[in-house]
């Protein structure tokens, strides 16, 4: 009996321990996981949060914590799945901010924008605006990136980083006075070598060269390491280049293979975000927005990063004239550019017939008599989607038949759009159409919708100039009858009015 009583007591004690564990264990999982996460011990945090999720499968908190833990471990797909699970249980800004960060890490920039927008729809927050600024920049929508950075700065007026980013975006848009002001404000909040680079570049663009040199020298005295000094030296070299002092620029940079342009990876090559005054790209007649599609016979459409292009550039001979193909507004041409800043850069440009012609005659437009356009699949309202796809293709055909346009094929367009994480339909706003047009490297983009009201088929189609953002044409067409009537007569009339 005594033995049995001991056994019962042990069982009872064990039972009490289990009850206590059930009551307090979940809190322990959460607390210990958060402690590990705060300490940067992500592997330990992951184990605790996994146990937390097992104990509370219907609570969004553990999945949110798992999402940030996976993110810190750079396991972005698993982080994404955790945030999706968390958002499914509870819609809040933190989950959508996490989704935005994951999409950014995975290169799905359009999805990132949508996630940050969703976070802001729940509660306006500087973190989401910050994410949108970087996401829009990543897909080449500089104006929207700037708007986002300014909103970020408005919500966080003490955040110097927002002003630094705004300064860079103003530079891309060649709004140099605004860029200068933004960098000055940022530096008043926090001294940063990037502010001195930005201010010096702004002064250079405004031809205030002495102030540019003084700004670089001030930055040099404050530079914390060799990397910062290298960035300031590079800026100083381009101050000299802008003044035509190529020997002084060469003495700073040496035999560095550089184009003198800020670049970004694009789906079909390398996009020039801006061109630095006096540099090789500038002297060759290249412009911001140009896309380099080939370098010395090498197709650039398969590059993984802008770093891959820089590596290719380094393999060229310093001071040589490289052969490129560039895309400007959908028109492609052969192009020549000097690699680096040799001390006789101006002499090389003047003695090379192709470079001289580009600089003098081809800086504004690439020769060509056909506009490059894209027609996004029309949105459907009360009309079967398959029929609308047929109408969209018929519109492309009618525009192509006019011999006035180079019309991007739907399959090729679909590849690029899917690579960017977009869908082909649902672009109801002009800003979204412009965004896609820039990614497709077209001059005009056409979008709109078709619906059915009673016995009438009705369509509203608009054509937008991608570079200026202006609506070039809006066409409305109503046809009473069948879809056959709209296909054979209505679409032809729409195409004719868009052309004329």
Three-state SS for 381-394 is ECCCHHHHHHHHHH
Q: What pLDDT does 355 receive?
A: 81
- 186 alpha-carbon distance from chain centroid: 23
State whether the Cα torsion 112-175-472-394 is positive or negative. Answer: negative
| Among the listed residues 160, 143, 244, the one whose alpha carbon sits nearest the alpha carbon of residue 195 | 160
3-state SS, residue 164 = helix
How many angstroms separate the CA atoms of 292 and 271, rounded? Answer: 6
pLDDT tens digit string along 178-222?
Answer: 999 999 999 999 999 999 999 999 999 999 999 999 999 999 999
Between 467 and 294, the higher pLDDT residue: 294
> What per-residue string of b and e applies to 348-371 under the rule 16 or more CB within 10 Å gives b?
bbeebebbbebbeebeeebeeeeb
142: tokens are 């500089």
Query: How confident is the model at residue 52, as a pLDDT?
Result: 93
CA distance 267 to 28: 48
Residue-wise pLDDT tens digits, 92-127? 999 999 999 999 999 888 899 999 999 999 999 999
Task: For residue 372, give both structure tokens.
Answer: 């490059």
Q: Which residues lie closer than 8 Å to 255 by C-beta, 6 or more apart? A: 318, 319, 340
Interatomic CA distance for residues 492 and 480, integer angstroms: 15
pLDDT at 416: 66
> 374-419: per-residue pLDDT in tens?
998 888 888 888 888 888 888 988 887 776 788 887 776 776 666 5
CA distances from 53 to 23, 320, 455 (A): 15, 60, 55
Ramachandran angles phi, psi of 62, nearest 5°: -65, -35
Task: Assess contact for 375 and 450: CB atoms under 8 A.
Answer: no
83 neighbors 95 (Cβ within 8 angstroms): yes
Q: Is the pLDDT higher at 411 or at 245?
A: 245
What is the four-CA torsion angle of 34, 38, 41, 44, rounded to 10 degrees?
Answer: 0
Residue range(s) in the chain whose domain bears CATH number 3.40.50.10610: 371-499
Structure tokens at 498: 């868009």
Query: What is the pLDDT, as a whole number, of residue 243?
Result: 93
- The contacts of residue 222 (CB under 8 Å, 6+ apart) are 191, 193, 196
Binning pLDDT at 50, 70 and 90, where does residue 363 land?
very low
Q: What is the pLDDT of residue 19?
A: 37
- The percent of residues above 90 in pLDDT, for the chain, comes to 53
The four Cα atoms 104, 106, 107, 110 give a dihedral, to 10 degrees, of -60
For 303-323, how does the pLDDT look when each residue is reduced to its tens digit (9 = 90+)?
A: 888 999 999 999 999 999 999
State pTM to two decimals: 0.69
CATH architecture of 257-361: Roll (2.30)
Place of tokens 């519109």: 395
Most confident of 16-25, 124-133, 265-274, 462-471: 124-133
β-bridge partners, 269: 266
Considering the chain, tell me which residue range(s) the CATH 1.25.40.10 domain(s) occupy: 22-248
Contact 307, 248 (CB under 8 A): no
How much is the mean pLDDT over the chain? 86
Q: How far apart are CA 234 and CA 228, in angstroms?
A: 10
Where is average pLDDT lowest: 56-60, 148-152, 365-369? 365-369
At 420, is the pLDDT very low, low, confident or very high (cuts 50, 70, 90)? low
Per-residue pLDDT at 255: 93
| 469 touches 375 (CB < 8 A) | no
Strands 379-381 and 444-453: parallel
Task: Look at domain 22-248 and name its CATH class.
Answer: mainly alpha
Is the CB of residue 288 less than 8 Å from the CB of residue 174? yes
Residue 18 has pLDDT above 60, yes or no: no
Q: Tell me which of 405 and 153 has the higher pLDDT.
A: 153
Least confident of 237-241, 270-274, 370-374, 417-421: 417-421
CATH (residue range 371-499): 3.40.50.10610
- Banded pLDDT at 22 (limits 50, 70, 90): very low
Choose among 414, 410, 469: nearest CA to 443: 469
Which residues 6+ apart lie within 8 Å of 342 measured at CB? 246, 250, 318, 319, 348
DSSP class of residue 376 equals: P
Q: Give the number of other CB atoms < 10 A from CB of residue 409.
A: 11
Higher pLDDT, 422 or 32: 32
The pLDDT confidence band at residue 3, using thresholds 50, 70 and 90, is: very low
- The answer on pLDDT for 367 being more than 80 is no
């Amino acid at each position: 009996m005594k033995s049995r009583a001991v056994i019962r007591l042990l069982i009872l004690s064990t039972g009490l321990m289990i009850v206590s564990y059930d009551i307090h264990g979940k809190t322990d999982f959460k607390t210990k996981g958060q402690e590990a996460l705060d300490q940067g011990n992500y592997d330990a945090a992951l184990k605790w949060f996994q146990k937390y999720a097992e104990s509370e499968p219907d609570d969004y908190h553990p999945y949110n914590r798992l999402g940030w833990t996976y993110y810190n471990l750079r396991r972005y797909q698993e982080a994404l799945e955790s945030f999706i699970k968390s958002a499914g249980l509870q819609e809040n800004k933190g989950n959508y901010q996490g989704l935005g960060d994951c999409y950014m890490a995975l290169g799905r920039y359009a999805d990132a924008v949508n996630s940050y927008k969703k976070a802001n729809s729940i509660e306006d927050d500087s973190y989401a605006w910050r994410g949108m600024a970087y996401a829009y920049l990543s897909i080449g929508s500089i104006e929207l990136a700037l708007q986002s950075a300014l909103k970020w700065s408005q919500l966080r007026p003490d955040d110097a980083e927002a002003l630094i980013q705004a300064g860079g975006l103003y530079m891309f848009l060649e709004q140099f006075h605004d860029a200068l002001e933004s960098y000055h404000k940022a530096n008043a909040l926090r001294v940063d070598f990037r502010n001195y680079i930005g201010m010096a570049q702004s002064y250079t663009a405004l031809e205030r060269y002495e102030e540019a040199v003084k700004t670089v020298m001030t930055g040099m005295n404050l530079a914390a390491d060799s990397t910062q000094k290298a960035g300031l030296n590079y800026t100083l070299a381009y101050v000299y280049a802008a003044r035509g002092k190529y020997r002084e620029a060469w003495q700073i940079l040496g035999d560095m293979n550089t184009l003198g342009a800020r670049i970004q990876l694009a789906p079909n090559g390398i996009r020039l975000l801006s061109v630095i005054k006096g540099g090789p790209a500038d002297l060759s007649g290249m412009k911001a927005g140009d896309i380099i599609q080939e370098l010395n016979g090498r197709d650039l459409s398969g590059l993984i990063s802008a770093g891959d292009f820089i590596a290719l550039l380094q393999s060229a001979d310093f001071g040589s004239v490289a052969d490129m193909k560039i895309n400007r507004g959908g028109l492609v041409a052969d192009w020549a550019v000097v690699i680096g800043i040799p001390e006789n850069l101006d002499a090389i440009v003047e003695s090379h017939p192709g470079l001289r012609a580009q600089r003098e005659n081809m800086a504004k437009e690439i020769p060509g008599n056909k506009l490059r356009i894209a027609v996004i699949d029309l949105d459907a309202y009360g009309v079967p989607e398959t029929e609308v796809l047929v109408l969209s293709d018929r519109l492309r055909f009618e525009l192509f038949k006019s011999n006035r346009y180079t019309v991007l094929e739907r399959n090729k367009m679909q590849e690029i759009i899917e690579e960017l994480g977009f869908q082909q339909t649902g672009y109801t706003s002009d800003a979204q159409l412009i965004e896609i047009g820039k990614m497709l490297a077209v001059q005009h983009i056409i979008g709109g919708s078709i619906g059915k009201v009673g016995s009438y088929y009705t369509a509203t189609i608009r054509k937008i100039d991608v570079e200026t953002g202006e609506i070039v044409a809006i066409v409305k067409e109503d046809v009473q009858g069948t879809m056959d009537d709209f296909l054979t007569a209505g679409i032809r009339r729409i195409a004719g009015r868009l052309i004329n």
